[in-house]
Amino acid sequence: MTSPSTKSAWWTDTTARSRFRRSLLKWFDRHQRQLPWRQQKSPYRIWVSEIMLQQTQVATVINYFERFIKRFPNVRALAAAELQEVLKYWEGLGYYRRARQLHAAARMVVDQHGGRFPQTFDEVIALPGIGRYTAGAILSIAQDQRYPILEGNTERVFARLIQLGDDPKSKPGQHKLWELADKLVSRHRPGDVNQALMEIGSQLCHVNHPDCGECPVRRFCESFQSGRANELPRRSVAKTKYESVREAAIIIRRGDRVVLRHCQPGQRWADLWDFPRFAVPTSGHGQFLCKRVRQLTGLSVRLGPPVKQIRHAVTRFRITLDCYHATDVRGRLNNGSPDGIQWTRLNELGQRPLNVTGRKIANWILSQ
């Protein structure tokens, strides 16, 4: 196996790197997808798109991006908005920490940089939610600064280009790949070089069965030359162990109002809203749940059998969520409790940022 520091490797040669970039850019100019964040070289738009694209597919992001930019067209508009509204526009995209950090960073850009997106790497990476990859992507794509990038797609392309022997996620693997990324990006069109490499990763260099026949850089690719493209990159063998859990959500309704819980910092779905929800023991749910409802809300209720079941996943947990309708609701709600419990009118459910299961339950209630 070779590494980026091996003397005979092609990427150590300036002329070979220029040829590589020429082939790459020629292909990119013809085949790049028309994506909404590519229409203008605005740091704000590139930043929002890069944050949305973390952990999320392009096809899902497009609609969210367009709605978000329409409502928050620039950093000042985002900074001036309430977090609850920003979360509402993020609802369903998941990984809500990204939205909280984007909002906090927008306020920093306004407070500390006069509303102008910073232009140095150190200033950009100091913003919440921005790491080495995102800083490099924004500065290279929006401002033509020569910074490399390394993310899921380019990791795979680079590992195959050099037949990386290490696990790409390992420290030595990451070191070699960043070194290669740094060599391949140029002063001329650095953002396009980075985007072209990502585009090859997503459009041709698939995890399984890469489309090497169409790849503009196959003559530089050691895995293609050796027929090992499908075997690489080496994948870590550690498999996620999933755990099944059972939870219950309680619909407590009086007339046109239902009880919602504002998820607190440090809890799952912090700052979003959900229905009162509890982990349940393996047996004896009924009495246990009534007691938990009383502790949380101050209300005494009766519960019949579940009216709805939702299965979903959160990190390594596979959750079966049984939804119960509370009847015979008595007492006064612990309004203003630290658990953020509140009566909410049904016609306000649409404006509240809810987690995914909360939204499903709300839609179910409204459809009854």
Q: Which residues are catalytic?
A: 50
Least distance CB 225 / ligand SF4 (angstroms) = 9
CB contact set of 314 (below 8 Å; sequence gap of 6+): 268
Residue 205 binding ligand SF4, by CB under 6 A: yes
Residue 164 binding ligand SF4, by CB under 6 A: no
Nearer to ligand SF4, 80 or 207 (CB): 207
Residue 197 binding ligand SF4, by CB under 6 A: no
What is the SS3 string spanning the chain?
CCCCCCCCCHHHCHHHHHHHHHHHHHHHHHHCCCCHHHCCCCHHHHHHHHHHHCCCCHHHHHHHHHHHHHHCCCHHHHHHCCHHHHHHHHCCCCCCHHHHHHHHHHHHHHHHHCCCCCCCHHHHHCCCCCCHHHHHHHHHHHHCCCCCCCCHHHHHHHHHHCCCCCCCCCHHHHHHHHHHHHHHCCCCCHHHHHHHHHHHHHHCCCCCCCCHHHCCCHHHCHHHHHCCCCCCCCCCCCCCCCEEEEEEEEECEECCEEEEEECCCCCCCCCCEECCEEECCCCCHHHHHHHHHHHHHCCEEEECCCCEEEEEEECCEEEEEEEEEEEEEECCCCCCCCCCEEEEEHHHCCCCCECHHHHHHHHHHHHC
Alpha-carbon span 50 to 35, nearest angstrom: 12
Among 78, 137, 193, 204, binds ligand SF4 (CB under 6 A): 204
Least distance CB 214 / ligand SF4 (angstroms) = 8
Among 52, 212, 252, 293, binds ligand SF4 (CB under 6 A): 212
Least distance CB 75 / ligand SF4 (angstroms) = 36
**Phi/psi at 283 (5° precision):** -145, 170
Q: Which two tokens stand for residue 318?
A: 């596979």
Among 75, 229, 251, 280, binds ligand SF4 (CB under 6 A): 229
* Number of residues binding to ligand SF4, judged by CB under 6 A: 15
Alpha-carbon span 90 to 154, nearest angstrom: 26
Among 51, 221, 280, 321, binds ligand SF4 (CB under 6 A): 221
Least distance CB 78 / ligand SF4 (angstroms) = 37
Residue 150 binding ligand SF4, by CB under 6 A: no
Residue 157 binding ligand SF4, by CB under 6 A: yes
Nearer to ligand SF4, 61 or 196 (CB): 196
Window 275-314: contact mask with ligand SF4 (x via CB under 6 A): ----------------------------------------
Among 27, 90, 224, 324, binds ligand SF4 (CB under 6 A): 224
Residue 52 binding ligand SF4, by CB under 6 A: no
Nearer to ligand SF4, 197 or 326 (CB): 197
Residue 223 binding ligand SF4, by CB under 6 A: yes
Least distance CB 231 / ligand SF4 (angstroms) = 10
Residue 160 binding ligand SF4, by CB under 6 A: yes
Residue 21 binding ligand SF4, by CB under 6 A: no
Nearer to ligand SF4, 51 or 221 (CB): 221
Residue 217 binding ligand SF4, by CB under 6 A: yes
The type of residue at 283 is: S
Q: Tell me which residues touch ligand SF4 (CB under 6 A).
A: 157, 160-161, 204-205, 210-212, 215, 217-218, 221, 223-224, 229
